[in-house]
């Protein structure tokens, strides 16, 4: 049985502690989803991910439809078989790639034409096909096809993106036929609060299983993002999960949780790890820096991850500087565990109604 239940709320804010039930298992919320763009979270195995505390992961419809393709994934037994992961999976719809690969796309009211970043071949994706592909993948949560306008675009372009997002959401809802799979709508509107309100109202009327806030963390800055989330989250149903897409830094996550958001994803833990950037509760560390040459301490003293139990900062710095794979792998393990520890702390503070105090602690300013 799928669904969402709010277990308790923070008396001092809009933060919620919840339980998301999916076909492949339950997820404690607020939750952070590691990103496995092409079917794998870079640098770690599914078993390691589970041991690090991840309960749900994200995969990318656009990239997987190109390679290995929808038919091979379906014949293998679905996305869970391909990824070797028996827990919940959320797939995005491909809509974000319209933004990130904008030079390769053509958009009209019906859908999107991509020039594949792999070989340049023309690929067409509309609301119906994006939904059917995710149905066939067998993921636990599918996302509607949406249109993410660039930050600072003209008002006419913003309005057009919202209109298309609403129309496509209706078509996704009509097409969706997988009783074991939830379908989330995505609100757009940039940082225009009236646009956000109109988009949210139209999507809520369609009665999706959950709702995402898309089109943020694309250059608008922390203050604009928080203002938009604080305005949008209360417009979404209290009894449905709320998902802020592509966010982000720890301070952004905490601020969004305070506004009532339940789910997050971002490539930062893994991408930053490959660039020798380690997250800690006291602020970030740059693992290539000379200050770590003889430092026998772990990345973070009270972290229980494999990297912190077995390796020093000096060793990890050395691995990066001699280009050993182990450096990025160990930092990836630590960063992924850091994010799960962060979410666990957030959930604990919600239960104690002390999340606002956590957010205003000085050290989070270094990670916004």
- Distance separating alpha carbons of residues 243 and 261, to the nearest angstrom: 6
State mean pLDDT over 34-60. 97
Last residue of a domain, one of 247, 264, 281: 264
Asked if residue 116 and residue 162 are part of one domain, the reply reads yes
User: 220-236 pLDDT, tens per residue?
Assistant: 999 999 999 999 999 99
Asked if residue 301 and residue 221 are part of one domain, the reply reads no
Q: Has residue 159 got a pLDDT over 80?
A: yes
Asked if residue 278 and residue 247 are part of one domain, the reply reads no
Q: How far is CA 201 from the centre of its chain?
A: 23
Asked if residue 242 and residue 315 are part of one domain, the reply reads no
Q: What is the pTM of this model?
A: 0.96
Asked if residue 340 and residue 203 are part of one domain, the reply reads no
Last residue of a domain, one of 217, 240, 264: 264
Q: Reply yes or no on whether 26 is catalytic.
A: no
Average pLDDT, the chain: 94
Considering 10, 92, 140, 146, which one is annotated as catalytic? 92
Q: Has residue 151 got a pLDDT over 60?
A: yes
Note the residue count of the chain.
368
Q: Reply yes or no on whether 265 is catalytic.
A: yes
Asked if residue 66 and residue 122 are part of one domain, the reply reads yes
Asked if residue 325 and residue 255 are part of one domain, the reply reads no
Asked if residue 259 and residue 272 are part of one domain, the reply reads no
- CA distances to 167, 294, 319, 337 from 297, rounded to whole Å, are 54, 9, 15, 17
Asked if residue 292 and residue 246 are part of one domain, the reply reads no
Give the pLDDT of residue 102: 60
Asked if residue 239 and residue 283 are part of one domain, the reply reads no
Range of the domain at 148: 3-264
Last residue of a domain, one of 264, 281, 296: 264
Considering 10, 140, 262, 265, which one is annotated as catalytic? 265
Give the pLDDT of residue 90: 98
Which structure tokens are listed for 268?
């930062």
Asked if residue 181 and residue 100 are part of one domain, the reply reads yes
């Amino acid at each position: 049985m799928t669904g969402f239940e709010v277990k308790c709320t923070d008396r001092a804010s809009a933060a919620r502690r919840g339980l998301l039930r999916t076909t492949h298992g339950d997820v404690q919320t607020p939750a952070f989803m590691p990103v496995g763009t092409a079917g794998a979270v870079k640098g770690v195995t599914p078993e390691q991910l589970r041991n690090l505390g991840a309960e749900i992961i994200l995969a990318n419809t656009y990239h997987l439809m190109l390679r290995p393709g929808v038919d091979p994934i379906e014949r293998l037994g679905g996305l869970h078989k391909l990824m070797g992961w028996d827990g919940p999976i959320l797939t995005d719809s491909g809509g974000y790639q319209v933004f990130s690969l904008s030079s390769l796309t053509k958009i009209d009211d019906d859908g999107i034409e991509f020039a594949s970043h792999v070989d340049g071949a023309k690929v067409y994706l509309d609301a119906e096909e994006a939904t059917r592909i995710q149905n066939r993948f067998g993921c636990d949560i599918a996302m509607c096809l949406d249109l993410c306008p660039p930050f600072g675009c003209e008002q006419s372009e913003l309005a057009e993106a919202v209109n298309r997002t609403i129309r496509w959401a209706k078509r996704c809802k009509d097409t969706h036929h997988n009783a074991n799979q939830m379908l989330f709508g995505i609100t757009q509107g940039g940082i225009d609060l009236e646009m956000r309100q109109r988009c949210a109202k139209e999507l809520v009327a369609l009665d999706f299983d959950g709702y995402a806030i898309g089109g943020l963390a694309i250059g608008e800055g922390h203050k604009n993002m928080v203002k938009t989330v604080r305005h949008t989250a209360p417009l979404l149903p209290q009894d449905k999960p709320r998902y802020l897409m592509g966010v982000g830094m720890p301070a952004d996550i905490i601020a969004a949780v305070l506004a009532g958001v339940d789910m997050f994803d971002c490539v930062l833990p893994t991408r930053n790890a490959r660039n020798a950037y380690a997250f800690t509760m006291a602020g970030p560390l740059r693992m290539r820096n000379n200050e770590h040459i003889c430092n026998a301490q772990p990345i973070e003293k009270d972290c229980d991850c494999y990297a912190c139990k077995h390796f020093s900062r000096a060793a990890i710095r050395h691995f990066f500087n001699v280009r050993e794979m182990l450096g990025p792998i160990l930092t990836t393990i630590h960063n992924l565990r850091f994010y799960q520890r962060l979410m666990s702390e957030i959930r604990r503070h919600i239960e104690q109604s002390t999340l606002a105090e956590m957010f205003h602690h000085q050290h989070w300013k270094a990670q916004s």
